[in-house]
Amino acid sequence: MTHGTSGPGNRGPARPSLRDGPGAPGTLTAVPHADQSPATTPEPTTPGAPRPTRVRPVPLTELAGQLGVRAPEGAGAPEAGVTGITHDSRAVRPGDLYAALPGARFHGAAFSEQAAKLGAAAVLTDPAGAERAAATGLPVLVVDDPRGRMGALAAAVYGEPGRDLLRIGITGTSGKTTTAYLIEGGLRAWERSRASDDRPAALTGLIGTVESRIGDERIKSERTTPEATDLQALFAVMREKGVHSVAMEVSSHALVLGRVDGCVFDVAVFNNLSPEHMEFHSDMEDYFRAKAELFTKERSRLGVVNLDDAYGRRLAEGESEVPVVTFSAAGSPDADWRAVDVESGLFDSTFTIEGPDGVSVPARSPLAGPFNVANALAAVVALVAAGADPKTAADGVAAVAGVPGRLERVDAGQGYLAVVDYAHKTDAVESVLRALRKVTPGRIHAVLGCGGDRDTTKRAPMGAALARLADTAVLTSDNPRSEDPLAILATMLAGAAEVPAAERGAVLLMEDRAAAIAAAVARAEPGDTVLVLGKGHEQGQDIAGVVRPFDDRRVLREAIERGAGTHAVTKHRNDQG
């Protein structure tokens, strides 16, 4: 058992390299979504993230040297070769280094015996877990902050896979998922433009809230940004399968908790910042500082920053450690890249992108709303910053068919617009409602809830926003988790009640989310819009710790179809009468 002091978790250079050809297939755990084509890979046989099939064993002595600790002693320790790393004792595979981390309820060292039985080669832990880890008889590496060392160690175990990938990271409060999908669409177009008879188009990757993708293969996501051990394994699988470039969401949690340790992004994108995750961050300044970490020399090489956002301007005006390129969807002349001549439609927006040296490119956001013009512009600028031709980038972004759960239409032949969107914070709710108001000739009937065990400060403002901007505001449950759904609704209702009666729509309170969606549909007439907010792509609802199947898109479609049947029966009776 060897001890050492903690060191930085993300250290060492990285080089983007677009390789000449695809590699041999690796392994992939793919979980199809209901709205996606079936996955072509088999069901998983081992828990945990996908792993590469070919890993050079790294001597434990080499990893100890990287940590700055003395090599472990004991039977087999000097010869031990590590072929994987995981923080989840259930996902240990033979040859793994098990990272036993301190947790809120349990210390990971308590599960060292399980890791040993599954074939772990060694344990990485802190002084508090050292004795329990050593009791397994495995070699133990001890550092003060194992989480802070885990990312760089995982990168080393898998042969620094990120160095062979062009990586674009996206952070901000709203729009990360949409921007990531748009960038990935642009990466595909860029790879196709460089393909030839001798060099087929390389695969692209996506890592984010909804899913991760390796080419057309999909992996269901558990969180916005995977844990460092899973992330580096995923990079290794991507490299093995021939991916050359990847778009990735980077959350504030990931930056604070070291999930992207071991990563240096070629381009870092900042969309915007508004109140969110206040149960995790002490205040907005703390939230901003977490996001700004992506724009340090240890995390990225170049920033792409939204000049229309106050926090983005702070980065552009000197609070970024790396050079920045700015963009403005509002057309600010101070920005390097601007959107002008914006024309918003019911389902998309068209505009012109103006850039340095007189560059002018026609562009299209495949999703409606001014905020999606900003997302599309951010995607194009990020791609150009990475080296893509502006027109190729803009065409690739425009060709994206849509983003799961982001202004996603549900069409069952009804005479009104029905939309599901992931908006679950005040600014996002307001932006979606204002955008749809511009293209809705009739009334808007909107459904919204707030999640339990999360930021409580946004509940009243969200209730107020819905009441002020929708003709019908149906307050309902989201994922109440361990909280009383009625207590959450009471706070939302209090916010709605603060809106003067003359300025608010009809407010309905329905705890059951399916009933709330049905109530909104029942009020809809031709020319109206039904908007279901908050859960977007999610396919479950967490109530008192039990996750029940629930997909807003499916429930909305079923409500529309039932309503159409009821309408047909009523019309027939009226005709007969």
User: What does pTM read for this prediction?
Assistant: 0.86
Q: Is the dihedral of CA 245, 287, 405, 441 positive or negative?
A: negative
Q: Which domains does the chain have, with CATH numbers?
A: 58-158 (3.40.1390.10), 166-399 (3.40.1190.10), 408-568 (3.90.190.20)
pLDDT tens for 541-577 read: 999 999 999 999 999 999 999 987 554 434 434 444 5
Under the phi-then-psi rule, with left for phi > 0, alpha for psi from -120 to 50, and beta for the rest, what region is 64?
Answer: alpha
Strand, helix or coil for residue 392: helix
Asked if 250 and 290 count as a contact pair (C-beta separation under 8 A), the reply is: no
Q: Would the annotation count 176 as a binding residue?
A: yes
What whole-number distance in Å separates Cα of residue 351 and Cα of residue 252?
31
Cα–Cα distances in angstroms (integers) from residue 206 to residues 69, 189, 238, 244, in the given order:
36, 14, 10, 11
| Residue 174 marked as a ligand binder | yes
Task: Say whether 177 counts as a known binding-site residue.
Answer: yes
| Token pair recorded at residue 555 | 């429930």
Q: Is 538 marked as binding a ligand? A: yes
Q: Is 172 annotated for ligand binding?
A: yes
**pLDDT of 55:** 93
Q: What is the pLDDT of residue 244?
A: 97
Q: Would strands 96-99 and 122-125 be described as parallel, antiparallel, or unpaired?
A: parallel
pLDDT for residue 569: 37
Residue 15 marked ligand-binding? no
Q: Annotated binding residue at 167?
A: no
Residue 224, marked binder: yes
* 251 is an annotated ligand-binding site residue: yes
149 is in an annotated binding site: no
Q: How many CB atoms lie within 10 A of CB 478?
A: 23
Q: Is 427 annotated as a binding residue?
A: no
Tens of pLDDT along the chain (577 residues) come to 555 543 333 333 333 333 333 333 332 323 333 333 333 344 445 677 899 999 999 999 999 999 999 888 655 555 678 999 999 999 999 999 999 999 989 999 999 999 999 999 999 999 999 999 999 999 999 999 999 999 999 999 999 999 999 999 999 999 999 999 999 999 999 999 999 988 899 999 999 999 999 999 999 888 889 999 999 999 999 999 999 999 999 999 999 999 999 999 999 999 999 988 778 888 999 999 999 999 999 999 999 999 999 999 999 999 999 999 999 999 999 999 999 999 998 899 999 999 999 999 999 999 999 999 999 999 999 999 999 999 999 999 999 999 999 999 999 999 999 999 999 999 999 999 999 999 999 999 999 999 999 999 999 999 999 999 999 999 999 999 999 999 999 999 999 999 999 999 999 999 999 999 999 999 999 999 999 999 999 999 999 999 999 999 999 999 999 987 554 434 434 444 5
Residue 225 counted as an annotated binding residue: yes
